[in-house]
Amino acid sequence: MLKKILIGSLVIAAGISPILPRVFADNASWKPLLADRVWDESTYRVDRLTFNSAVSDPMKRNGIAFVSNPSAQCTDLGTCDKIDVSILKEGKTQILNAVDQQFLNPSFAMAQKGKFLFFTKSANKNYWVDVWFVDPNTGEVHPFTSLTRKPNELSFVSFSTSGDRMYSSLLQSNTESKKVQSSIVAKSKDGTYEERNIAFMLNAPWQQVMDAYNDKLLVKFQFSGGNKQLWLINPASQVMSAIPNTWTDPHADILFPHFLSNGTVVFFQNYRLYTYNPANDAEPQTSEGALLSWDRDVNQNVQIVGDRMVWTDVNHVLHAVGLEGAIAGLPAVKDDSVHLEKDAVYFANAKGSWKYDFVSDALTQTPFLVADVQNDVRVGTDAQGNIWYENTANQKQVKLGYGTRPVLTDDSHVIWKGKDGAIYQATLSVLLSFRSTDKVFEGGLIPGQRVKAVGDPRVYMVGNDGALHWIVSETVANTIYGSKWNKGITEVSPTFLWRYSNGTNIESNQSLKTL
């Protein structure tokens, strides 16, 4: 596997690989990833990246891959609430400095409906925070809005978004009683709309906006005795209503309350799943056995993607809920193996690795435990800790290295955390995505085969169209085939090639995708 060390103990730019695709963006904020070791194989290259030793596992949100470190602005790591987030895409990185660490909380991600939003403490003393979003297509960072700071406001708690509006929870001092209480603030992205003290009927010490949908709010109140309760608030009509039967004892809690896209509210109360459709239900509905495990950190157990939520119970049985309600009959799993995508959940158990498709209700076995999916490509790990790449369109599989948490930063790059704690990146040759047919052309040549005439330096690749496509230079050959570009070429007589027509030239690795 990783056996040919090209460079050791030298810090190099990862962008110099012969099989690295075009760079992501000509933008000063994007920098080449740095590596201190490189292993070069024929169809991929692996770099050990030079991240801080405290780097997190790779993660992904709204299609954007990232890792995080304690912020360089922190002077006391024990009390610091800031992180530096490094976005990774197409062999480059962009650092988001001093991001509030709430960004890593699954509840925060849930409240943004998967959007890659984050906030930083505003440098302007007249504002609490500056909120930013990352474009999933370009990876560029844009301002979303800033929250004005009023004289009686004491601290910023959290926020949720719906469309172009942000709904925030704040602590403030009551101007009359001087008691500390929560308030809810709404603000539009363009700044034309702002409203404070939305929860006008209740002065609960703690009001937290958990989610927003069509500009309706799902708010968790905590009262002076410690009791919690879920409320629905419509700022436009100024209508507030408590969700029936959600009054919760002080020692208990309401976890992961959120809206589905049809307006249904889903939440755990006392570790039991409830669903509530305000238009149809007199009270929240529960499903037999749909319990959340109390033996595991809920932030490590619950996953939410779009309208799907999955979790395991105390017996390690997998559960799921979506627009169709709770899904029963899923098997027991290894708790840390579960990975949720929009329409499928992947998991492992004693019988192997599996995919459950929500749409078809089909359970199929997978060659490894899938940890990320992008278009036709999926990556994951096997029981021995091997990192695997698979292109499901052409059934090509490659073992890339060892470690955990593999994530696709784009179609051509995979990152994961090695067993030594370092972050590794595999740069994949376009050959792994080349989809050749099973045709055999006259003379026995097949799609993807490289061929040259004796005495002629020109090397051609046979395309799916049966034509010869000239690889125009050694540089292009290096880009596609790596350092072994001149190996495995079939030599034939010049007259043999006369039976084939000439196709378009191969001038870059991207050219192969059109053949």
pLDDT tens column, 342-388: 999 999 999 999 999 999 999 999 999 999 999 999 999 999 999 99
| Degrees, nearest 5: CA angle 429-370-333 | 165
User: CB of 332 within 8 A of CB of 315?
Assistant: yes
Nearest CA to 164 out of 131, 197, 128, 200 is that of 131
Q: How far apart are CA 73 and CA 82, in angstroms?
A: 8
pLDDT band at residue 14 under the 50/70/90 scheme: very low
If one compares 223 and 117, the residue with the highest pLDDT of the two is: 117
Name, in order, each residue with C-beta under 8 angstroms of 185's C-beta and a sequence gap of 6 or more: 147, 167, 168, 170, 194, 195, 196, 197, 198
Q: What is residue 107's three-state secondary structure?
A: helix
Q: What's the full length of the chain, in residues?
A: 515
| The pLDDT of residue 10 | 34
pLDDT band at residue 397 under the 50/70/90 scheme: very high
Q: How far apart are CA 245 and CA 251, in angstroms?
A: 16
Sign of CA dihedral 151, 157, 162, 164: positive
pLDDT score of 6 more than 70: no
| Sole residue written with tokens 């007249």 | 126
pLDDT score of 13 more than 50: no
Q: How far, in Å, are 56, 62, 127, 288 from residue 83 at the CA level?
A: 10, 19, 20, 40
Chain mean pLDDT for the chain? 88
Nearest CA to 430 out of 415, 413, 407, 452 is that of 413
Name, in order, each residue with C-beta under 8 angstroms of 151's C-beta and a sequence gap of 6 or more: none
User: Across 163-284, where does the E strand assignment appear?
Assistant: 165-173, 180-188, 194-195, 206-213, 216-222, 228-234, 239-242, 254-259, 265-269, 272-276
| Degrees, nearest 5: CA angle 187-83-14 | 115
Nearest CA to 386 out of 398, 403, 363, 371 is that of 403
- How large is the C-alpha radius of gyration of the chain? 27
Q: What is the mean pLDDT of residues 432-440?
A: 78
pLDDT score of 26 more than 70: no
Domain ranges of the chain: 442-514
pLDDT tens column, 497-512: 988 999 999 988 777 7
pLDDT tens column, 47-86: 999 998 899 999 999 999 999 999 988 887 677 889 999 9
Name, in order, each residue with C-beta under 8 angstroms of 462's C-beta and a sequence gap of 6 or more: 441, 445, 446, 447, 448, 449, 450, 451, 468, 469, 500
Buried b (16+ CB within 10 A) or exposed e, 345-375: bbbbeeeebbbbebeeeeeeebebbbbbbbe
If one compares 435 and 6, the residue with the highest pLDDT of the two is: 435
If one compares 5 and 112, the residue with the highest pLDDT of the two is: 112
For the chain, give percent helix, strand, coil, nearest 5. 10, 50, 45
| The pLDDT of residue 42 | 79
| The pLDDT of residue 427 | 93
Query: Containing H/E element for 35?
Result: strand 34-40
pLDDT tens column, 156-213: 888 999 989 999 998 888 777 777 778 888 999 988 888 887 765 566 678 899 999 9
| Degrees, nearest 5: CA angle 405-409-412 | 110
| The pLDDT of residue 394 | 85
| The pLDDT of residue 182 | 80
Six token digits for residue 145: 């809005």
pLDDT score of 451 more than 90: yes
Nearest CA to 66 out of 43, 20, 37, 99 is that of 99
